[in-house]
Amino acid sequence: MKIVVALAAVALTACASIPEPAAFDPAATSFTGYVRFTEGEFQLYEREAQVQAPFARPCVSGALPRDAQRSAAEMSGQKVTFTGRAVAWPAGGVGLEHEGSTIRNTCGVDHVILAQTVSVIR
């Protein structure tokens, strides 16, 4: 049991120190990168290879409104642009609601994206 608790503490510490992607600007209103959709949220990466690697970092978590989030899931792996805004992740937060979607911040960075639209870059 002590080993499990110690490993959990190390994992949480590692998550807290993950840097935000260099190309991510929290003041922006559009965010471009390669996307992976998971249940309830998306992860946005700078490089295509990151989308293919499980647990790749750094990334930025976000979500579209619920119906748009569900419809956009087929875009996983593609280069996209989200429009919306970034907000600070609340200290000790476990979830942030965005128009019916729940962002869990699996990327573990200081900001998340509250997206309104997404389009594929061809």
Taken in order of first residue, the domains within the chain and their CATH numbers are: 18-120 (2.40.50)
Can you say how many angstroms the Cα of residue 56 is from the centroid of all Cα atoms in its chain? 11
Residue whose C-alpha is closest to residue 61's, from 92, 87, 23, 28: 87
63 beta partners: 114
Two tokens at 107? 């990327």
pLDDT at 48: 94
pLDDT by residue, tens only, the chain of 122 residues: 444 433 333 344 444 556 678 779 999 999 999 999 998 899 999 999 999 898 889 999 999 999 999 999 999 999 999 999 999 999 888 999 999 999 999 999 999 999 999 999 98
| Residue whose token pair is 């990151």 | 50
